[in-house]
């Protein structure tokens, strides 16, 4: 593989880089850097197209279930397969143009989503979120520091890896009033919440949203309490694969994450003991008020039609 792709694959597998949008951007940048390295260091022998496709395959294997990673690769390699004359320079030009366009799209989407999300937050609102999401962080930053709204954010700790604590630290550093709550306290505290805003890993054509584990329970409690529940997700997190019936797989984390530093530490291999550690869950459409995209705030029930039109299945 290329050196940049090699390094990124290791980091993704070891969870040294996080955040689906961040990973998607890093993937696009790594593909372009390795294509540049190929052009600079090798004779033009017509191998760049095959090399780039192999790099993409290896990146997908590093995190098979992450649709943003797949979509990033799909965007960068778009049109490469149609180049039949093994013209390395032509392949490089397509890769570079596609990669730069995708990175710009991702950055622009984040900016537009932060404004749309900031607009639906009212002065004085208390908003609940879970896990760590750069996108939701920027929504809260926009509302509090750009739009000058007085808000408070409740953040669920998000066991077992406590990504919510990272979110708390970043929000406090931005000067936003933030309250850390344990995951089990959500139902008890929901009467104090005006709105829920979550990030997402994947949005499927069946209108369900795959988010960090615990999101679906929060959505259920919010629905029960008639609290609006929004998901922030750029359209490159939408999965066209689900149109053909492909199910979105749910990754399981390491067993040790659950029991580390507890009385059960070291018992992973005990034959009488099991650990389940799903990393994500699916939130059903009828528990979601809207999906904040870079285009507009979509109804979750419209995602299937949006994907079908985008892919050309229907006109």
Render pLDDT for 163-208 as a digit per residue (tens, 0 to 9): 999 999 999 999 999 999 999 999 999 999 999 999 999 999 888 8
Residue ending a domain, choose from 51, 75, 110: 110
Residues 31, 34, 40, 42, CA torsion sign: negative
271 and 138 housed in the same domain = yes
The verdict on 134 and 261 lying in the same domain is yes
Looking at 60, 91, 110, which one is the last position of a domain? 110
126 and 232 in a single domain? The answer is yes
* Catalytic site residue from 201, 241, 265, 286: 201
Same domain, 141 and 260: yes
pLDDT at 43: 62
Cα–Cα nearest to 132, from 153, 107, 155: 155
Distance CA 2, CA 95 (A): 14
- Could you report the per-residue pLDDT of 226-247, keeping only the tens digit for each? 999 999 999 999 988 888 777 7
Last residue of a domain, one of 72, 91, 110: 110
pLDDT of 2 reads: 67
Q: Are 294 and 234 in contact (CB under 8 A)?
A: yes
Which of the residues in the chain have pLDDT under 50? none
Residues 133 and 49 in one domain: no
Number of domains in the chain: 2
- Cα 8 from Cα 26, distance rounded (Å): 8
Pairing between β-strand 177-181 and β-strand 152-156 as defined by DSSP bridges: parallel
> What's the whole-model pTM score?
0.90
Q: What are the residue ranges of helices labelled H in 14-150?
A: 20-41, 48-62, 67-77, 88-120, 134-141
**72, part of any domain:** yes
pLDDT on residue 44: 62
Nearest alpha carbon to residue 6 among 28, 42, 24, 31: 31
Domain span holding position 285: 121-311
Beta bridge partners of 126: 152
Indicate if 225 and 168 belong to the same structural domain. Answer: yes
116 domain-assigned:
no
- Report the CATH number that the domain containing residue 196 is assigned in CATH: 3.40.50.10470
- 201 catalytically annotated: yes
106 and 147 fall within a common domain? no
**272 and 174 within one domain:** yes
Residues 48 and 50: their CA atoms lie apart, in Å, by: 6
CATH number at residue 89: 1.20.120.420
For 193, the enclosing helix (H) or strand (E) is: none
User: What pLDDT is stored for residue 206 in this prediction?
Assistant: 85
Residue 146: predicted pLDDT: 97
Tokens of 146: 């750009």
């Amino acid at each position: 593989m290329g050196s940049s792709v090699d390094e990124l694959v290791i980091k993704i597998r070891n969870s040294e880089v996080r955040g689906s949008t961040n990973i998607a951007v890093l993937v696009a940048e790594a593909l372009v850097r390795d294509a540049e390295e190929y052009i600079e260091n090798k004779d033009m022998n017509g191998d760049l197209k095959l090399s780039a496709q192999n790099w993409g395959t290896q990146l997908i294997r590093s995190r098979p279930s992450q649709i943003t990673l797949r979509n990033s690769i799909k965007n960068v390699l778009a049109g490469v397969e149609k180049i039949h004359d093994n013209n390395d320079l032509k392949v490089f030009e397509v890769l570079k143009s596609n990669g730069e366009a995708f990175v710009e799209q991702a950055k622009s989407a984040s900016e537009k989503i932060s404004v749309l999300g900031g607009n639906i937050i009212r002065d004085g609102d208390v908003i609940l979120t879970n896990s760590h999401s750069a996108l939701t962080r920027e929504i809260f930053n926009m509302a509090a520091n750009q739009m000058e709204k007085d808000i408070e954010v409740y953040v669920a700790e998000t066991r077992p890896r406590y990504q919510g604590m990272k979110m708390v630290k970043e929000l406090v550093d931005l000067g936003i009033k933030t309250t850390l709550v344990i995951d089990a306290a959500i139902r008890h505290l929901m009467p104090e919440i005006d709105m829920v805003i979550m990030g997402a890993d994947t949005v499927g054509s069946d209108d369900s949203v795959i988010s960090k584990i615990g999101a679906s329970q929060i959505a259920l409690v919010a629905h029960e309490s008639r609290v609006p529940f929004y998901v922030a997700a750029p359209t490159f997190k939408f999965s066209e694969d689900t149109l053909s019936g492909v199910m979105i797989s749910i990754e399981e984390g390491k067993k040790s994450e659950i029991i580390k530093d507890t009385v059960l530490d070291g018992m992973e291999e005990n034959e009488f003991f099991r650990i389940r550690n799903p990393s994500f869950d699916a939130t059903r459409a009828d528990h979601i008020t809207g999906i904040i995209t870079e285009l507009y705030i979509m109804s979750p029930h419209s995602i299937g039609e949006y994907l079908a039109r985008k892919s050309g299945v229907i006109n």
